[in-house]
């Protein structure tokens, strides 16, 4: 071997071959528009990818919103804009978790897609959420074996149902719907009702579940109007009946790694309703000092901030995955 070749070999041995390999490129954090089809309707969403090494497959989470016309960011425009899901995406980004959030039927860019609202039932939304999960799992940057679901409020119940249909890695249930729909609604309203209204409302629920005509006799006009226009109107009947038919503890999957939280200042899904679901999941719930929107008590609804206790609970759960 020539002297030049020997010197070259010596330099390589001293420097180490790793010094000759360029560092992997880092892909900056980004949002990407995503669309998918369920029941013939195109849904639109946002895939958020945290900064990561090029070529790395990322853990991911599907974000599912609460009840009503709640869009991909967790807002009910134009009045309620807490941005709960958007904030959750930002929080999960800090732990290197990609997220998909989407406009469910009746919201945002998805809208109704030509569907008749009266035909929508709870399972229609479950099928849409399952299609969203599959879409997320098949994104090129995602580790399809490490896809979880974060469900807030009604989205927590949907998360339980999707987990029965798809290979979900884990669940993070934030103040999930843990009672039958009408039982939860009655619990929310009873504190504001007179004893006569409480009794009449209980009778209406019983009649509705039995398929009988609803009798609003003995009920205040204010409550009767609310129920007729907002709950038992023609456009909602399919959805209300199918949602109310689901008892959340009965669809829970024990053995699936799950974070279950409740808010000590939450009047919509109070901690007192959580034990049955926790028992079905074989876990202990985590009580946090928050309201239903995951705010510190007294925080205005439209303040776009998560309480630090929520961030810490998610971080702790993710660190031990």
Q: For 257, which DSSP code? A: -
The pLDDT of residue 20 = 58
Same-domain pairing of 151 and 100: yes
Same-domain pairing of 96 and 39: yes
36 within 8 A of 121, measured Cβ to Cβ: no
What is the tally of structural domains in the chain? 2
Same-domain pairing of 194 and 304: no
Same-domain pairing of 285 and 140: yes
Using CA atoms, how far residue 59 sits from 98, 147, 258, in Å, is: 6, 6, 16
In tens, the pLDDT along 134-189 reads 999 999 999 999 999 999 999 999 999 999 999 999 999 999 999 999 999 999 99
Same-domain pairing of 253 and 314: yes
In tens, the pLDDT along 219-235 reads 999 999 999 999 999 99
Same-domain pairing of 83 and 111: yes
Query: For the chain, what is the mean pLDDT?
Result: 93
Residue at 226 is within a domain: yes
Give the CATH number of the domain where residue 108 resides: 3.40.50.1820
Q: Which residues does 120 contact at the CB level (< 8 Å), separation at least 6?
A: 105, 106, 238, 239
The DSSP code sequence of 149-163 is EEEETHHHHHHHHHT
Residue at 199 is within a domain: yes
Residue at 14 is within a domain: no
Same-domain pairing of 170 and 187: no
Q: What pTM, to 2 d.p., does this model score?
A: 0.91
Residue at 305 is within a domain: yes
In tens, the pLDDT along 286-313 reads 999 999 999 999 999 999 999 999 999 9
Domain boundary residue, one of 225, 240, 255: 240
Cβ count within 10 A of residue 236: 16
Same-domain pairing of 260 and 168: yes
Same-domain pairing of 171 and 214: no
Residue at 18 is within a domain: no
Same-domain pairing of 144 and 197: no
Domain extent at residue 294: 26-179+247-319
Helix (H) or strand (E) holding 98: strand 98-102
In angstroms, rounded to a whole number, what is the distance separating the alpha carbons of residues 48 and 66? 20
In angstroms, rounded to a whole number, what is the distance separating the alpha carbons of residues 214 and 212? 6
Same-domain pairing of 152 and 218: no
Same-domain pairing of 198 and 217: yes
In angstroms, rounded to a whole number, what is the distance separating the alpha carbons of residues 52 and 222? 54
In tens, the pLDDT along 77-134 reads 999 999 999 999 999 999 999 999 999 999 999 999 999 999 999 999 999 999 999 9
- In the predicted structure, residue 7 carries a pLDDT above the cut 50: no
Higher pLDDT, 319 or 310: 310
The pLDDT of residue 320 = 80
């Amino acid at each position: 071997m020539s002297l030049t070749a020997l010197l070259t070999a010596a330099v390589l041995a001293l420097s180490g071959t790793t010094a000759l390999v360029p560092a992997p490129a880092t892909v900056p954090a980004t949002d990407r528009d995503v669309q998918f089809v369920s029941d013939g309707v195109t849904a639109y969403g946002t895939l958020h990818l945290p900064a990561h090494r090029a070529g790395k497959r990322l853990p991911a989470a599907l974000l599912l919103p609460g009840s009503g016309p709640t869009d991909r960011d967790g807002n009910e425009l134009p009045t309620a804009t807490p941005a709960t899901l958007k904030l959750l995406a930002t929080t999960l980004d800090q732990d290197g978790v990609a997220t998909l959030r989407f406009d469910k039927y009746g919201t945002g860019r998805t809208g109704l897609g030509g569907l008749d609202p009266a035909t929508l039932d709870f399972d229609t939304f479950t099928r849409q959420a399952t299609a969203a999960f599959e879409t997320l799992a098949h994104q090129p940057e995602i580790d399809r074996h490490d896809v979880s679901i974060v469900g807030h409020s009604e989205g927590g119940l949907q998360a339980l149902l999707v987990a029965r249909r798809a290979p979900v890695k884990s669940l993070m249930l934030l103040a999930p719907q843990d009672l039958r729909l009408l039982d939860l609604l009655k619990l929310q309203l009873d504190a504001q009702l007179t004893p006569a209204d409480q009794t009449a409302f209980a009778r209406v629920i019983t009649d509705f579940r039995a398929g009988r005509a609803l009798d609003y006799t003995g009920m205040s006009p204010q409550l009767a109007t609310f129920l007729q226009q907002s709950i038992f109107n023609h456009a909602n009947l399919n959805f209300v009946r199918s949602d109310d038919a689901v008892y959340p503890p009965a669809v829970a999957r024990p053995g699936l790694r799950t974070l279950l939280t409740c808010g000590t200042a939450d009047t919509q899904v109070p901690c007192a309703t959580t034990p049955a679901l926790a028992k079905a999941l074989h876990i202990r719930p985590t009580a946090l000092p928050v309201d239903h929107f995951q705010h510190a008590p007294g925080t205005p609804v439209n303040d776009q901030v998560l309480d630090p206790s929520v961030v810490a609970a998610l971080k702790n759960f993710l660190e031990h995955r």
